[in-house]
Amino acid sequence: MMRCFIAILLSDSVRNQIAELQEDLRRSGLKLKWVAPENIHLTLQFLGEITEEQAGKVVAILEQAAAQTHAFELAAEGIGQFPPKGTPRVVWVGLNGETEPLMDLDHRIREALKREQIPFDDKPFHPHLTIARVEQGFRGPLRTSEKARQFHAGTIAADAVNLMKSDLRPSGPVYTSLGHWDFKSVNHWSVDENGRILLPRYKHCFVCGSQNPAGVHLEFAVKDGKIETSFIPRPEHCGYRGVVHGGVLTAVLDECMGWTIISRRKTMCITVEVTLRFKQRAMAGQRLYVSAECVDCRSRLMSARGQITDGEGNILCTGHGKFIPLTDEENEEVERYAGWENALEEVHRKITERE
């Protein structure tokens, strides 16, 4: 039997920043059982004691999960406790950034573990980095300085998932990696399991940015010459009593129509005019489907049309947009800023090969 857990490991620079935080908290008088900096990690699932046969099944699960996951980035920042009020049991550093792919990864692994009947701690997943545990006699709540609350340890490049073995010793646990599986590299475009070409995303964009906490987090794809996506609006996207704000729908449809030009002309573009007609209310909590196609991408003033529908195919709004292309120099600047590394040229080539 082996005591195991599934985790994403941290860089030395992030661990060093957390070690400095721990030292500051020690000096402030907090008497806690501190996690050794080299042992700090992001736990996905704690498996406990498993057999070698079960470990083999976990390996297969992680291999498949990694193959379905693109590398993503997290920000280690802030400090808190579990439970959030009263006497703490755990002190943690929080995680922000691209949490959506992290939650998707956790969900896929959990479901696979259940199917294989491999036991694990099935409590709700709250991404965090444990930095200390409470010793007997400590009474909360945890009081920290403003400096600690504003703590930022930098970026965690989540590019692999690990199966770890934990050996408990008097001096503390010793962790050993039983294997790691790399996520798909971020080449800014890819092809999904349905054969659709997935388009580049700029992580801070309101519409497609995975690191914009207020954003819609869309992923656009090319299918049969059209651009498509879907999303479930959240309460913060509403204007009135659960109704999605028209400005959010405008931004989404504008982005989708713009990508029809970008994918055809191998160039970014600027919106000159967008006209929308709203036919029915779009409600938060229901999945909405967005699609657009190019009308004219040959002249300098290019145009596209699109629509948003609900799950039953009802048209909620339609739109028409006009766009002008950026210059070569402006395109290069955008690609550098977004970190896309010639992604537009590669996407254009892939689309052309299929036509």
* 3-state percent helix, strand, coil for the chain, nearest multiple of 5: 30, 35, 35
State yes or no: is 204 an active-site residue: no
Encoding tokens for residue 53?
A: 């046969």
Set 41, 188, 217, 237: catalytic member: 41
311's CB contacts (< 8 A; 6+ apart) are 286, 287, 289
135: buried, middle or exposed (CB in 10 Å: 19+, 13-18, 0-12)? Answer: exposed
Are 21 and 153 in contact by the 8 Å Cβ rule? The answer is yes
State yes or no: is 128 an active-site residue: yes
127's CB contacts (< 8 A; 6+ apart) are 42, 74, 94, 95, 99, 102, 103
Which amino acid makes up residue 241? R
What's the CA gap between 311 and 292, in Å, rounded? 17
The one-character DSSP state at 234 is: -
Set 128, 188, 217, 237: catalytic member: 128
Q: Give the residue numbers marked as catalytic.
A: 41, 128
